[in-house]
Structure 1
Amino acid sequence: MVTDEARTGVEKPDTVIVGGGLAGLSTGIALAESGIDTAIIESRRKANADIFGFLLWPPGTRTLRWLGVLPEALRNGAELESLAWFVVGKKHTWMNVDLAELDAGTFLGIRPSRLESILREAALAAGVRIYDSVDDWSLRREHAAWTMRLQREDGPVDLRTPLLIGADGSGSRLRSELGLTSSRWQPRGQVIVTGVGGPLPEQGSRQALSAAGSGGCVSLGEKASWLYTVAQESDVSDPGSALRDYAHLDSLDATYATAFDQVERTAVVRPWTVTVPRWSTDGAMLMGDAAHGMLPHLGLGGSLTLEDVPLLSEVVEEAVRTGDFCAPRLSAFQQRRQARTAYAQRTSNQWARVLCSTTPGARTARDLAMRRMARNMELAQRFYRELASPSGPSLGTRMRMMMP
């Protein structure tokens, strides 16, 4: 007998993920490979043009390895060899952390569009249904299930599921639809000028600190690099010039300047930290930037999103197995992740406050912390090694580093 649902084309996956970027695709792979029927919805018709890069720490690359895509990501990006810091106006490196000697895992620089393409291919191979080019969607809940109607060029599609996962970024629409409140914080007047340029002469990350702000570059492979400047908005009249100015700082040599000459387009972004008190409700949960969006300083956001995936998969598998999608069961994910993500947010916020702050004493405190690390490389290595671990830096290390 043909049911009414069959006539109207209702699809009934175990879970629907809202958002088809880094968070949604990686989560989709994990769930599908666990035998959970998974659908992803995404508004974009194709990946956005790259204006930034991912610097993924070991917490993120461990998940990529777990998903089976790290070898392909390394072929399309760069395994970073060093993290170097410079002082503007000085003829020396302030600090250079050898990542091989650190022995903390793989650090990866990669273009977002490349990583997204790799994850999308792996998701489709795992059996994930991806609905992209979704112009709009509506949502209703009845009989302990969600019905989501997708509006697409080829007609509407109805999805019915007991579980929704919000992976649609820091400005999450699903979070708003669910009534899960959030607040956000931005460092006053601060912007990031960002772009993708030509290759660097070595595979690493370099950042220079000056009285006016900060600038950096990260290798994204043989043909590209991520270039950025953190500055006060009042100092950025021409984004292209602001980005190129970093290439001419005394602490960089001419071989790096050529990467800035190959930037095709620049963007000025004003990112924020998102605080979400509650990540779940009956039949729905948030992850990644939708749950704990953070400023991009130190490159922790993408890594923490990927680090969410194995634990989220574990919680969802148990919910599907038992048929229990109530908020208390789903909140186990937040209970086990919140301390880790909250620490990363505090660290990123502190860096934002001191990178180009006009507050008296802020830059002095910044430089003092950097000098302390530069004089004690064992301490610096310990901090980076612990930051790259699943647990994060110990209280003793943080106090010695003057970190939160």
Structure 2
Amino acid sequence: MPRIAVAGAGIGGLAAALALAEVGCAVDVYERAGTLDAVGAGVQLSPNASLVLRRLGVLDELGPAAVESSEVLMRRARDGAVLARVPLGPAAAARYGAPFLSALRADLQAALLARVALRPAIALHLGRAVEGYEGSGRGVALRFADGAAAADGLVGADGIRSAVRRQMTGAGDASASTRSAFRASVPRAAADPDALVPRSNLWLGRGAHLVHYPVDGGRRVNVVAIVDEGAPTGGAETWSQPAEAAAVERRFAGWAPPARRLIAAAPDWRRWPLLDRPPLPRWSDGAVTLLGDAAHPMLPFLAQGAAQSIEDAAVLADAVARCGGDLPAAFRAYEGLRRPRTSRVQAQSAKQGRVYHLGPPASLARDIVLSTLGPARLAARVDWLYDAPAEVRRFAGTRTSAPAPTPT
């Protein structure tokens, strides 16, 4: 099997390295940073991602640091009224073949790195950024600031500012949307008991919504507040900047007391501008392809950024194995399978953001629909997302479809 270079050691890049090693490839991972510091606070791992992580041994490494969510609880912002519940927990694990988990990004990254360290076929090169490439009949020549390297193929998992994508497609970085995400981590001792229940909480308000869930084995609550700013909010260079706590609290001043108390309990906040870009017309160029945010950055309203990168890793490895090491053919097959799926998730994520942030009277109609659907029908509405595609399940070694929902 071939030697494949992976540009980027984020969640997608490390998952790709593990998946490719699993099918017999030698892998060199090149990372720009000299040390790997996790960016962001928490991450939700829906079943379509966790079944791949289980196949790679990553769930074993995560262990009790990950929290299994019992449900998604949707609430109205102004009074805290419960609008809907989407059952997760054992029901989701049985339905989709894997659990719905939440974790700190640092814990997930540490678990991925622990598995990488156990694979002699994977070499991790820190402080080396892939700046470009040249293809040939015999593989790919990689360019670095301080030299070059050779590989049979290259996977650009180098994020939203991908140098590999820029060379391949000419497409620049994703553009700023008109929304920002404010992120914080609240210690267990400072949170209300309700916020510590192992579930994903979603509060819907006019021009904003709030998500929170326990992480770190229940020792912290990850909080994400997303607001409409009315104008573009800055590019990737302004990610993870400190934010004024008082400004966040003012933005949510009219919300129900439990939401306000959780926001006030955060010791500090950081701001991420939300970036967006339409689907690319292509991802692959011979023995070079893209993965994760380099290929399909998406708004966070379905919590699928990490999950879709992990799906990419599984399908990429499966395609390489099924094409017998013919990387151009494998990468074409991978792109053909993944582009329709990720384009749909991108579009639905953007649509979901508009629905979440509705104001009256449209929000009243939304709330009525959510309140009348019932848990079984709500669960069925996410089958397309959480029930992983057949090619993902083929790599993970699980069944190929979710059971029919039980009527209510």
TM-score tier, shorter chain, comes to: 0.7 to 0.9
Identify the match of residue 374 of structure 1 among 363, 371, 374: 371
Further displaced range: 196-205 or 168-177: 196-205
Give, in whole Å, the separation in 2 of the partners of 1:252 and 1:96.
20
Give, in whole Å, the separation in 1 of the partners of 2:344 and 2:230.
30
* 1:249 positional shift: 5.9
The residue that corresponds to 1:119 in the other structure is: 112
The residue that corresponds to 2:397 in the other structure is: none
1:342 lines up with 2:343 in the alignment = yes
List runs of 5+ in structure 2 lacking aligned partners. 189-194, 234-241, 391-400
Aligned in 2, Cα 1:41/1:390: closer, same or farther, shift over 3 Å?
Answer: same
The residue that corresponds to 1:131 in the other structure is: 125
The residue that corresponds to 2:236 in the other structure is: none
Identical-residue share of aligned pairs (%): 20
Give, in whole Å, the separation in 2 of the partners of 1:341 and 1:280.
15
Kindly indicate whether the alpha-carbon contact (under 8 Å) linking 1:14 and 1:37 is maintained by their aligned counterparts in 2: yes
Q: How many residues in Structure 1 have an aligned counterpart in Structure 2? A: 370
* 1:266 positional shift: 1.6
Aligned in 2, Cα 1:109/1:367: closer, same or farther, shift over 3 Å?
Answer: farther
Matches within 5 A, 1:3-402: 14-48=3-37, 50-100=39-89, 101-102=91-92, 103-104=94-95, 105-127=98-120, 128-134=122-128, 137-151=131-145, 156=146, 158-179=148-169, 181=171, 184=174, 187=177, 189-199=178-188, 200-221=195-216, 222-233=218-229, 239-244=244-249, 250-251=255-256, 253=258, 257=261, 260-319=264-323, 321-322=324-325, 324-326=326-328, 328-356=329-357, 364-377=361-374, 378-391=376-389
Aligned in 2, Cα 1:26/1:135: closer, same or farther, shift over 3 Å?
Answer: closer
Give, in whole Å, the separation in 1 of the partners of 2:271 and 2:255.
24
Kindly indicate whether the alpha-carbon contact (under 8 Å) linking 2:135 and 2:287 is maintained by their aligned counterparts in 1: no
Give, in whole Å, the separation in 1 of the partners of 2:257 and 2:48.
30
Give, in whole Å, the separation in 1 of the partners of 2:60 and 2:165.
34
TM-score (norm 1): 0.81
Further displaced range: 381-390 or 26-35: 381-390
* 1:182 positional shift: 6.5
TM-score (norm 2): 0.81
* 1:288 positional shift: 1.4
Say which one has the larger Rg.
1
Kindly indicate whether the alpha-carbon contact (under 8 Å) linking 2:196 and 2:213 is maintained by their aligned counterparts in 1: no
* 1:382 positional shift: 1.4
Aligned in 2, Cα 1:290/1:274: closer, same or farther, shift over 3 Å?
Answer: farther
Kindly indicate whether the alpha-carbon contact (under 8 Å) linking 1:17 and 1:39 is maintained by their aligned counterparts in 2: yes
Kindly indicate whether the alpha-carbon contact (under 8 Å) linking 2:182 and 2:243 is maintained by their aligned counterparts in 1: no
The residue that corresponds to 1:5 in the other structure is: none
SS at match of 1:293: coil
* 1:51 positional shift: 3.2
Kindly indicate whether the alpha-carbon contact (under 8 Å) linking 2:61 and 2:114 is maintained by their aligned counterparts in 1: no
* 1:168 positional shift: 1.1
The residue that corresponds to 1:400 in the other structure is: none
Corresponding letter in the other structure for 2:45: L
* 1:179 positional shift: 3.5
RMSD: 3.1
SS at match of 2:185: strand
Corresponding letter in the other structure for 2:388: P
